[in-house]
A and B are shown apart, each in its own frame.
Chain A
Amino acid sequence: MSGAPRPLEIRDLSKSFGGRRALDGVSLDLAPGEVLGLLGPNGAGKTTLVRSVAGRVVPDGGSVRILGFAPSDDAARSARGWVPQEIALYPLLSPRENLWTFGRYQGLSVAALAASIAESLAWIGLADRADEKTDRLSGGMKRRLNMAAGTIHSPKVLLLDEPTVGVDPQSRERIYEMIGELQSRGVSLLYTTHYMEEAERLCDRIAIIDHGRIIALGTKEELVKKTLGGRQAVTVEATSPISPAFAEKLRRLAATVDGTKVNVSVEDAASGVRDLLGLFDAEKVGVRDLTLKSPTLEQVFLQLTGRELRE
């Protein structure tokens, strides 16, 4: 390897709790300014992986390097920010006091803190409520403050563990914007989420983890193509019930027939739809509706893990 160390390098990471293998040879890289989504069912190993990078879990094997440093090194601690899933704040302190606390814990000087706190409060939209008790803030405000507490020291690598759980759509939108801003500042993000749309919208690449192993890694398009082969789903609704003879012809195209509905997966949308409509025309069967759907990340996930994301 040459040049500057990557923001995050995970090599062959393994960890067992008792007899259960939580991580089984996980390897990942994070490029500067990249958002890497980590998707997986509950118990797949996401939290163990994030906690290993946060220095809160000591792996049995493999290594984690943050800008070339081990997670417990001071340099790694300074370069890393962590926004845990819990609202890990002091409820009786104000947002300003919480930010002061975590800023000092991250080694910021008192002089530097004043500017950082003012900037952070403005960033999360809480400048006007900076001196209220944190437990009086709404759920969305607390989530944003939770993010600010993890980024007060301007980390190079940020671990975001489901930062939008339980927040209203407006706050969620604001959090998305904040993530975009962090990315534009060159921060590398490891982002775990249960929401497919978040992963699709925010992440440059997506890693799917199951049973402690990375089972797929790439951009959304790469994952879809690799897993589902780029096929698209066509649904045609006939104006009258499909006759058994016509159904037999359709099945030869690997289509499924359900009353007046015909579903078929096609490799190429243009030729596939043309061939299908040609058959309807030949059989003199009218078409009431036709839909063409690209494969979703959810289908990829289902295909790879055999489970829904929330299982």
Chain B
Amino acid sequence: MIFAVAKNRLMNLRRDRAAFVLAFVLPVAFFSIFAAIFSGSGSRAETRKIQVLVVDEDQSANSRRFLDGLRAETGLDVQSAGPAARNGPPISYTAATAESAVRRGDAPVALIIPKGFGEHPISFGPAENRPELAILADSADPIAPQVLAGLVQKVVMTSLPGAMARTGVAEVDRWSGGLTPEQKARMDESLRSLEAETPPGQPAAPRAASASGPVAVKTRDIVGEAKKNPTVTFYAAGLGVMFLLFSASGAGGALIEEAESGTLDRILSTRVSMTPLLGGKLVYLAGVGVVQLVLMFVWGAIFFGVDLMNHLPGFLVMAVATAVATSTFGLLLASICRTRMQLVAVANLSILIMSAVGGSFYPRFLMSEKLQKFGLVTINAWAIDGFTKIFWRDESVSALWPQVLVLVGFGVVFFLIARRVARKWEIA
């Protein structure tokens, strides 16, 4: 009898494609996506490169040598010039433009090489009046400045061995009572040949390096430094969008229920035709979506210190744009699916994948470059980017136009497709 019951369930499972997908395809799909996000698909080439904007104020041979060393690092994507105005040549970053770019979120860190760096790149012992390298960081990405600081120490030691040796010799000269002229002459000759051996861009083989090393580096958080709880806004946006997608697809399922119960037929025989019907559902879903986001952020403001009041206009713009995109996505799924069970399966699959790739669970800037680019096909990525601009970077409402444009664009496209697919219910 037990086997008869079990076999009955198995027969049902074979017929129920939605349950089948949920049981077997979903876990594998998720495993693959998370494996890709967290392991970079096992290939070093796909792991994230840290984008560094570099400003060389020194323009010395040593600073150029140091820069070449940085460029040779596979973990860094070094950029010394930003995008040009229309068709012009790229424009080199200055300290000010690099800082603006980090504030905008173009890159997580900038490195400023100050004047005089080439003269005294290294010092041992207590800090003197040596020039300091400055790292300007977006504290949303806590990893990038630390990796950069470590690599700076390494690259200085490997790309400027002459400078390091000269400093060492100077220290010996200072603390050992002085070298003889003959010793100094032989030392100079050795240093010249050491510098000649190390062509720019090809740093010498790494030697023992200390992260706390001999280069003076000062890291300064220029974005989010005053935020009380930096991760809260990220999760409020990330999870908010995900739940909006879930609730929109669930509520969009009302369309399927209406079709199954015959209510849709009855509605369409009244003075309501399909376009106003879908339009009305969109207004409802978007309204509920905005209320959901408002609730989430008000809660965040009360209990987690999200600064909602000072970002209200931008928040509302993003809330409406996000709700429009998620609502139309819900309508699209509802119009494509034939049954409620099918909708549940398709919604779970697509929304969890979009949320994973789009950065609802894990910040996109920590993903590989490929995944970061792929994430741009999701509503989540654009919505999170928009909310981050408001709450993290304190950008103005006008700076939200790319996100709003894309989200509303998603909305228009999804609605048009849903309308087209809904013709199946209109007439026989």
Contact = CB atoms under 8 A, between A and B. Distances in A.
Contact of B271 (A17, A77, A89, A90): A77
A55 B269 contact: yes
B397 to A, nearest CB: 36
Contacts of A78: 271
A220 interface: no
A86 interface: yes
A84 B271 CA distance: 16
B427 A56 contact: yes
B263 A89 contact: yes
Nearest to B427: A58
Interface in A91-112: 102, 105-107
Contacts of A88: 261-263, 265-266
Contacts of A74: 271
Contact of B269 (A17, A58, A77, A86): A77
Contacts of A58: 427-428
Interface in B82-121: none
Nearest to A105: B270
**Interface-central residue, B262, B267, B270, B272, by most chain A CB under 10 Å:** B270
B316 interface: no
Contacts of B262: 84-88
B268 interface: yes
Contacts of B268: 55-56
Given A56-B268, A106-B270, A86 B261 contact: yes
B428 A105 contact: no
A84 B270 contact: no
Contacts of B272: 105
A55 B267 CA distance: 11
B266 A102 contact: yes
Interface in B378-428: 427-428
Contacts of B261: 86-89
A57 B428 contact: yes
Given A57-B427, A88-B261, A82 B271 contact: no
Contacts of A11: none
Contacts of B428: 17, 51, 56-58
A90 B260 CA distance: 12
A228 B428 CA distance: 38
Interface in B251-291: 261-263, 265-272
A56 B261 CA distance: 15
B267 A105 contact: yes
A54 interface: yes
Contacts of B267: 105
Q: Which of B263, B267, B269, B427 has the most CB of A within 10 A?
A: B269
Contacts of B266: 82, 84, 88, 102, 149-150
A102 B258 CA distance: 13
Contacts of A82: 266, 269
B277 to A, nearest CB: 9
Interface in A21-69: 51, 54-58
A56 B265 contact: yes
A102 B270 contact: yes
B32 to A, nearest CB: 39
A150 B262 CA distance: 13
A15 to B, nearest CB: 8
Contacts of B269: 54-56, 77, 80, 82
Contacts of A84: 262, 265-266
A58 B262 CA distance: 18
Interface in B309-360: none
A177 to B, nearest CB: 23
Interface in A223-247: none
A88 B262 CA distance: 5
Contact of B270 (A17, A51, A77, A89): A77
A105 B272 CA distance: 6
Contacts of A17: 428
Contacts of A85: 262
Nearest to B425: A56
Contacts of A90: 263
A106 B265 CA distance: 14
A149 B269 CA distance: 12
B263 A106 contact: no
B261 to A, nearest CB: 6
B258 to A, nearest CB: 9
A107 B271 contact: yes
A104 to B, nearest CB: 9
Contacts of A86: 261-262
A192 B267 CA distance: 20
Nearest to A71: B269
Contacts of A80: 269
A107 B272 CA distance: 9
Nearest to A85: B262
A180 to B, nearest CB: 24
A82 B272 CA distance: 14
Contacts of B427: 55-58
Contacts of B271: 74, 77-78, 105-107
Given A84-B265, A88-B262, A106-B271, 17 more contacts: A17-B428, A51-B265, A55-B268, A56-B428, A57-B428, A58-B428, A74-B271, A77-B270, A80-B269, A84-B262, A84-B266, A86-B261, A87-B261, A90-B263, A102-B266, A105-B270, A107-B270
15 contacts: A51-B265, A54-B269, A56-B269, A56-B427, A57-B428, A77-B270, A82-B269, A84-B262, A85-B262, A86-B262, A102-B270, A105-B270, A105-B271, A105-B272, A150-B266
Interface of B: 261-263, 265-272, 427-428
3 nearest CB pairs, A to B: A86-B262, A105-B270, A88-B262
